[in-house]
Structure 1
Amino acid sequence: MDLSYWELKNWFTNVDYTIVGSGIVGLHAALRLREKFPESKILVLEKGMLPQGASTKNAGFACFGSLSEIIDDLKSHSEEEVVNLVKKRWSGLQLLRKRLGDATIDFKPYGGYELFLKEGESAYFECVGKLAFINEILKPMFKTDVFAKEVDRFGFGGIQEYLIFNPFEAQIDTGNMMQALMKQAVSQNILILNQQTVTSYLDKGNGVEVALGGFSFNTKKILFATNGFANALTNVAVKPARAQVLITEPIENLDIKGTFHLDRGYYYFRNIGDRILLGGGRNLDFDTETTTEFGQTEIVQNRLEQLLKEVILPNQKYEIAHRWSGIMGIGNSKNPIVSQLTENVYCGVRLGGMGVAIGSLIGTELADLV
Structure 2
Amino acid sequence: MELSYWELKNWFTAVDYTIVGSGIVGLHAGLRLRERFPAAKILILEKGMLPQGASTKNAGFACFGSLSEIMEDLKTHSEEEVIQLIEKRWKGLQLLRKRVGDQEMDFRPHGGYELFLKDDDFGFNECVSKLPFINEILKPLFKADVFSKEVDRFRFENIQEYLIFNPFEAQIDTGNMMQELLKQAIAANILILNQQTVTSYSDAGNHVEIVLDDFSFKSKKILFATNGFAGSLTNGAVKPARAQVLITEPIQNLDIKGTFHLDRGYYYFRNIGDRILLGGGRNLDFETETTTEFGQTKIVQNKLEDLLKNVILPNQEFQIAHRWSGIMGVGNSKKPVVTQLSENVFCGVRLGGMGVAIGSLIGTELADIL
**TM-score, length-normalised on structure 2?**
0.99
1:276 counterpart residue number? 276
2:147 counterpart residue number? 147
**Take 1:366 and 1:64, find their aligned partners in 2: how far apart are those partners?**
20
2:21 counterpart residue number? 21
Deviations 1:120-177 (A, max 9, x none): 1110000000000000000000011000000000000100010000000000000000
Identity among equivalent positions (%) equals 81
**Counterpart amino acid of 2:38?**
P
**Take 1:233 and 1:86, find their aligned partners in 2: how far apart are those partners?**
26
1:364 counterpart residue number? 364
Whether the 8 Å CA contact 1:268–1:279 is kept in 2: the answer is yes
**Counterpart amino acid of 2:37?**
F
Moved over 6 A (4+): none
Could you say what secondary structure the match of 2:18 adopts?
strand
Counting only pairs closer than 5 Å after superposition, residues 1-370 of structure 1 correspond to structure 2 as: 1-235=1-235, 237-370=237-370
**Take 2:232 and 2:214, find their aligned partners in 1: how far apart are those partners?**
18
**Take 2:235 and 2:197, find their aligned partners in 1: how far apart are those partners?**
17
**Counterpart amino acid of 2:249?**
E
**TM-score, length-normalised on structure 1?**
0.99
Q: Give the superposition deviation at 1:317.
A: 1.1
**Counterpart amino acid of 1:81?**
E
Whether the 8 Å CA contact 1:266–1:283 is kept in 2: the answer is yes
**Take 1:15 and 1:231, find their aligned partners in 2: how far apart are those partners?**
26
**Take 2:366 and 2:232, find their aligned partners in 1: how far apart are those partners?**
19
**Take 1:8 and 1:93, find their aligned partners in 2: how far apart are those partners?**
38
Q: Give the superposition deviation at 1:232.
A: 3.2
Q: Give the superposition deviation at 1:235.
A: 3.2
Whether the 8 Å CA contact 1:200–1:233 is kept in 2: the answer is no
**Take 1:334 and 1:349, find their aligned partners in 2: how far apart are those partners?**
11
Could you say what secondary structure the match of 1:74 adopts?
helix
**Take 1:110 and 1:326, find their aligned partners in 2: how far apart are those partners?**
25
Could you say what secondary structure the match of 1:49 adopts?
coil
**Counterpart amino acid of 2:261?**
H
The answer for unaligned runs of 5 or more in structure 2 is: none
**Take 1:178 and 1:235, find their aligned partners in 2: how far apart are those partners?**
29
Q: Give the superposition deviation at 1:233.
A: 4.2
**Counterpart amino acid of 1:132?**
P
**Counterpart amino acid of 1:119?**
D
Whether the 8 Å CA contact 1:55–1:355 is kept in 2: the answer is yes
RMSD of aligned alpha carbons: 0.6
Q: Give the superposition deviation at 1:119.
A: 1.1
Deviations 1:75-129 (A, max 9, x none): 0000000000000000000000001110000000000000000111110000000
**Take 1:188 and 1:108, find their aligned partners in 2: how far apart are those partners?**
28
**Take 1:280 and 1:223, find their aligned partners in 2: how far apart are those partners?**
30
Q: Give the superposition deviation at 1:236.
A: 5.2
**Take 1:82 and 1:344, find their aligned partners in 2: how far apart are those partners?**
31
Deviations 1:246-293 (A, max 9, x none): 000000000000000000000000000000000000000000000000
